[in-house]
Structure 1
Amino acid sequence: MRTKLLAAVVAAVTLSGCAVGGESADAGAAYPSKALSILAPGSPGGGWDTRARGLVNALSACKVADVDATVTNVPGAGGTIGLAQFAKHKGDPYQLMVMDSVTMLGGIVSNKSPVDLSELTPVAGLSRGPSAIVVPAKSPYKDLKSLLDAMEAKPRSVKWTGGSLGGPGQMTVAGLAKQRGVAAKEINFVPTAGGGESMNLLLSGAATAGIDTVAELRSQIEAGELRALSVDSEQRVPGLDAPTMKELGLGEEAVSTLAGVLAPAGLSKEQQQDVIALLDKVRKTSCWKKDLERNNWTEDWKPGEEFGKVLAEQRTQVTAILGELGLGK
């Protein structure tokens, strides 16, 4: 099954930087000396978009750099439409892209993308965020066990949604199915281009269950429109009455994804270090720390080649899982 390529939708928002000072008074280096362009290869309002705009806010509001920063959204095909455009900016350290490892790797494998993350310059892994398994408030399923019982009895009767084809949501569901003896290819999973589309499927009753980041689901859970059955984090998420998958004996089925930033291919070591140093300043600001707290993100700083190593390891993991789903290369 191939995900439908969506037309690129570009929505740019430019935020002007402030005078250098405040929390980063030492940010007087040559880089950045002109405007930065940050690509979010997903829809406005989604996780990648939220992270990109958080970076822009920290650069400006916490006075990390006296330059403009622009966020551009290019959604579709698990991020690979935006990835293909981004790859054209070889050697340009002023072009950056936010992403998360498993989602984009899943998009690359399932869509047979001609561009691979190994071709780009790893800047840094920044954070991990918990996901939740949810059902509509009127659903008869009150806990994860009853939902998985139904899937085990009649796999196609449970319609899942949550993210792109081959993304971490589908991979987690595949792991849960395998644990119950259900073949991955029997899963009824409806891929979407973003959180808004998944939410519509859930709230309309067109989907039985969904899996997405807590940041995207929290408002509907708190409003009583969705019921959280479990979260994939190590600890329970404050404010959510839901056990962890680990508590339920399902911790190994969760697929953890690392969110971070990439630069185009062709950067020198010095240019790579300049971008890493900029993000290091950003992550230490109160602006970014507030975003971490607001979105239930946990910092996981992995600069440069450490991030590249994670991407290479997860490339192997993702390829194997998607092979079981019939989506591998």
Structure 2
Amino acid sequence: MRRRRFFAWGLGVAACAAGCGTEHVNVGALRTRFSINPGAQRWARVCRAFSGAARAAGYETGTGTKITVTGLPALAAAELNNGQTLADTATPLSRLTGDVEVVVVPGNSLFKDFDDFGAHLLAHPGQTLLAGGPQGEPDHLLFGLIAKGLGADTRQVDYTGYPSSQEAVTALLSGKAAAAAGLFSDWRASIGDGRVRALAVSSAARVPDLDVPTLLESGVRVDFADWVAAVGPDAMTDDSREVAIRMCEEVTGSPGWQSACRANGWISIPLSGDDFEAWLGTEVERTRAVLRDLGLLDTTRATRCGIGCGNGH
């Protein structure tokens, strides 16, 4: 049985969802039956859409091989909360979707474009008040990557994390922050009514119907998404892993899944099997590095070897 490395879950319940119980070994059942669960409430909507597309493709859901839908925040939480080597607690199967992030400022901001904002952040990282979701989560990671890409002193970045996107909107509009980052879907309404202006999007390609440059176009070498993936339990045989990967590939290539992504504003970014595992190794390293740059991880701690070590990092 091949052993696979992945991140330790931020919540114990997620680990249970990924691996509690005994895996079915009946080959016929493994080919058609999957128990698909979200690792946390934040992934419930993607999980429902994925389960629905799997059923439409002819698979039974609710029982069978355990699959957990999880994402980038869980990876970052493992780094922040566990302070230990990446654990062999799950088997990477497939990347599913990504949410585009956007950098925004108030409608009356003196920053007319991303160049203005970037110049100020580079010159005054400690006086450029930034806001978004909780510390260490994707919005914070994005600002860390932007600061590093600009050449700013990342440890001086002044970031305040808020429990919800609405609180981040309130903070930005009340003057408690000069700029904010968050999911485009969460900021769409405020952008549409002119209360805020978008300076850049985090994806490699522009967002349709939004006349806003990408970070890459703006001179910052960052391609970033709040991604979601499917993983299996650690104690997964090669046969059941391959069956689950084939299911993921069939589902993410189906018209029903593409329709669900369009309806929810998700980017469909399928990547499966060994390719996904290799990509995940680089994502672990990037996440760990930016958390260190932001001062959220102890850089004096001994180097840890996890999934990245297995990919030559």
TM, length-normalised to structure 2: 0.74
Per-residue deviation at 1:229? 0.7
Cα RMSD over matched residues? 3.3
Identity %: 23
Alignment of 1:148-227 (within 5 A): 148-227=118-197
2:82 is aligned to 112
Alignment of 1:318-329 (within 5 A): 318-329=287-298
Provide the rounded CA distance (Å) in 2 between the counterparts of 1:8 and 1:209.
34
1:261 aligns with 2:236: no
Contact in 1 for aligned 2:106/2:178 (Cα 8 Å): yes
Provide the rounded CA distance (Å) in 2 between the counterparts of 1:150 and 1:123.
42
1:56 aligns with 2:51: yes
Provide the rounded CA distance (Å) in 1 between the counterparts of 2:33 and 2:93.
19
1:291 is aligned to 260
Residue 188 of structure 1 aligns with an amino acid whose one-letter code is D
1:78 is aligned to none
2:210 is aligned to 240
2:277 is aligned to 308
Cα 1:240–1:306 change in 2 (3 A) is: same
Per-residue deviation at 1:162? 2.6
Provide the rounded CA distance (Å) in 1 between the counterparts of 2:151 and 2:284.
25
Contact in 2 for aligned 1:171/1:255 (Cα 8 Å): no
Deviations 1:272-327 (A, max 9, x none): 12322222232122221023334454433222222222122222222222222222
Deviations 1:157-205 (A, max 9, x none): 3222233433343233223334555311111112345545434433554
1:65 aligns with 2:97: no
Contact in 1 for aligned 2:69/2:228 (Cα 8 Å): no
Provide the rounded CA distance (Å) in 1 between the counterparts of 2:222 and 2:177.
21
Alignment of 1:5-16 (within 5 A): none
Cα 1:225–1:55 change in 2 (3 A) is: farther
Contact in 2 for aligned 1:107/1:165 (Cα 8 Å): no
- Superposed structure 1 runs of 4+ greater than 6 Å apart: 6-10, 32-35
Residue 97 of structure 1 aligns with an amino acid whose one-letter code is V
Provide the rounded CA distance (Å) in 2 between the counterparts of 1:225 and 1:182.
28
Helix, strand or coil at the partner of 2:65: coil
Provide the rounded CA distance (Å) in 1 between the counterparts of 2:165 and 2:206.
22
Cα 1:39–1:199 change in 2 (3 A) is: farther
Provide the rounded CA distance (Å) in 2 between the counterparts of 1:117 and 1:220.
40
Provide the rounded CA distance (Å) in 2 between the counterparts of 1:179 and 1:7.
32
Cα 1:205–1:49 change in 2 (3 A) is: farther
1:98 aligns with 2:93: no
Helix, strand or coil at the partner of 1:94: strand
Per-residue deviation at 1:114? 5.3
2:95 is aligned to 125
Helix, strand or coil at the partner of 1:30: helix
Provide the rounded CA distance (Å) in 1 between the counterparts of 2:143 and 2:264.
23
Per-residue deviation at 1:37? 4.1
Residue 301 of structure 1 aligns with an amino acid whose one-letter code is P
Per-residue deviation at 1:95? 4.2
Residue 302 of structure 1 aligns with an amino acid whose one-letter code is L
Provide the rounded CA distance (Å) in 1 between the counterparts of 2:238 and 2:191.
45
Give ranges in structure 2 of 5+ residues lacking alignment.
1-9, 15-26, 299-313
Deviations 1:72-105 (A, max 9, x none): xxxxxxxxxxxxxxxxxxxx832413213xx433
Helix, strand or coil at the partner of 1:111: helix
Provide the rounded CA distance (Å) in 2 between the counterparts of 1:266 and 1:7.
19
Provide the rounded CA distance (Å) in 2 between the counterparts of 1:8 and 1:228.
37
Per-residue deviation at 1:223? 3.4
> How many residues are treated as equivalent by the alignment?
277
Contact in 2 for aligned 1:124/1:301 (Cα 8 Å): yes
TM, length-normalised to structure 1: 0.71
Give ranges in structure 1 of 5+ residues lacking alignment.
1-5, 11-27, 70-91
